[in-house]
Structure 1
Amino acid sequence: MQISDYLDDIARSTGFLSRLPMPARHFEGHDGSLVRASGMFPVAGLLIALCPGLVLVVLSAFDANAALTSVLALGVLIGVTGALHEDGLADSADAFGARGGREHMLEIMKDSRIGSYGVLALVMSFALRAIALTIIVSVIGGWSAFLVLLAIAAASRAAMVWHWNALPPARQGGVAASVGSPDQNARTLALLAGGLLFLAFAALTAGLIPALLSLAVLAAAASMWTSIVRTKLEGHTGDTIGATQQISETACLTALALLL
């Protein structure tokens, strides 16, 4: 592959995962497939985390309240992604929380309405991330928290690719099925890039041992979630892929905050 191919994949991945505008030339003649481009999800995660990370840096420089700084940064993060992953988490929670078989759960995932389980999942996810990020900002400062946010954004999106590759599509008409599943090369590239980026940034700011332990927690959370999805749905959906990112990010942030 040439450098231009990697740039195309980064732009396509970022465009798929966020509302950030990408140059049109990267999409000319492209069929919408993410089979190869998904390998660049961790790099797309870095781009997505830049704006919320800068909020942490700027507000911390002015000695703003750490809790308010963290909530605002997460708000910007949600705005950048268009709440794409949060939507997946809520739909997955509603589906798995309801009684019924596989087909019933898939129907619930297609419903745009949100139920009690989805609301509770979103509240818990946001609360844990906000509290954890507040602790991280308070302990290691804004610049270091910025790097931690970049690290987790990369690793949690690598977890998405792993989940996507590990399971077949639960239904053939969904968004995830329409863009194709990551191939083995894309999965390997995503895991290597996500792991190395995480360790490079997190170890630099929080220390090697906390970085390794929190990465292990992220991997365990993604693996457990994938096992649950395999048992209940026998395959992935766009919602379960998005939920993988949220679960991984929340677990990793929480673990790192506890270890600091």
Structure 2
Amino acid sequence: MNISEYTSDIARAVAFLSRIPVPSSFFEGYDGRLARVSRTFPLAGLLIALPAAIVFALLLAFQADPLMASLLALAVQTMTTGALHEDGLSDTADGVGGGKDRDRALTIMKDSRIGTYGAIALILSFGLRAAALAAIASYLAPFAAALALLAAAVLSRGAMVWHWYVLPAAKPDGVAASAGKPDYGAMQMALITALVLSAFLLWPSLRLPGFILCLFVTAAAAFLFTRRIRQRLSGHTGDTVGATQQICEIAVLCTLAMCV
């Protein structure tokens, strides 16, 4: 593996998945495609979630209310990502929930306005993640609770790449199709990276059965959601990739809240 190329791919992934400024030197000669860059999504996710994890740990260390600390950490995370994945979740919920057929669902997802299904999905996403983080913070030390937030960021972004890999593009002329698609090697590296990083982050506070359960629930959530998208849309879009991240982050945090 070329270390220079891998480092550049991490920087490009951070730029794509967040609003964190990245030096322009990393984009010299870059064609904008994400097929190879996607292999670094889990590591980029860890870096992107780091500011939120630091805020979370500091607030808890100063005896802040766990729920308040959780909501503030999610606010920081949302500002860092520019609500990229939340937007995908709301659009997917509106399209899949409100579209009578595939074409209508895709049309709804392209509409920038938010509907009832999208609003409910966002409320549940923030509510479930905040409640889970608060529960985790009630049982773990501040530093360990912050590591759980990072682990959720890592695993959920690995799941994104898998969802993206296993489904064809729903629209051949869509934005997701133009960005390229991970090949088997990129997908495999993303999953291995997610597994290794999450094990390192969770090992101090979670025993092996709990870690395996966390992986199982996350994989099940990704599989079931991907199967539903295959049935309804016959392929992925940028919105469904983002929705995968949100659903799997919820799965990770809720499972951790029950296992710690």
TM-score by length of 2: 0.98
Unaligned regions of 5+ residues in structure 2, if any? none
Corresponding residue number in structure 2 for 1:76? 76
Cα distance, 1:108 vs structure 2: 0.4
Correspondences of 1:108-147 after superposition (within 5 Å): 108-147=108-147
Aligned match of 1:56: 56
Find the residue that maps to 1:94 and give its secondary structure. helix
Cα displacement string for residues 71-108 of structure 1 (whole angstroms, at most 9, x for unaligned residues): 00000000000000000000010011114110000000
Structure 2 equivalent of residue 225 of structure 1: 225
Q: Structure 1 CA distance, aligned partners of 2:99 and 2:233?
A: 13
Runs of at least 4 residues of structure 1 off by over 6 A? none
Contact 2:52 2:76 in 1 (8 A): yes
Q: Which residue of 2 aligns with 1:21?
A: 21
1:1-260 paired onto structure 2 within 5 Å:
1-260=1-260
Per-residue deviation at 1:206?
A: 2.4
Q: AA paired with 2:143?
A: W
Tell me the alpha carbon deviations over residues 156-183 of structure 1, each in whole angstroms, 9 at most, x when there is no partner: 0000000000000000232211110011
Q: Is the 8 A contact 1:140 1:206 kept in 2?
A: no
Deviations 1:116-153 (A, max 9, x none): 00000110111000000001111102100111111111
Instruction: After TM superposition, give the deviation of residue 211 of structure 1 in Å.
Output: 1.7
Equivalent residues, number: 260
Aligned amino acid, residue 81 of structure 2: T
Q: Distance in 1 between matches of 2:143 and 2:221?
A: 27
Query: Contact conserved, 2:99 with 2:108, CA < 8 A, in 1?
Result: no
Whether the 8 Å CA contact 1:57–1:142 is kept in 2: the answer is yes
Unaligned runs of 5+ in 1: none
| Cα shift readout 1:47-81 (whole Å, capped 9, x = no counterpart) | 01100000111111211111100000000000000
SS at match of 1:205: coil
**Do the aligned residues in 1 keep the contact of 2:56 with 2:70 (CA within 8 Å)?**
yes
Please, what TM-score do these two structures have when normalized by structure 1?
Answer: 0.98
Alignment RMSD (CA, Å): 0.9
| Contact 1:199–1:212 (CA under 8 A) maintained in structure 2 | no
Looking at structure 1, the residues matched to 63 and 99 of structure 2 have their Cα atoms a distance apart, in angstroms, of: 48
Instruction: Report the Cα offset of residue 258 of structure 1.
Output: 1.4
Partner of 1:206, secondary structure, is coil
Q: Secondary structure at the match of 1:236?
A: coil
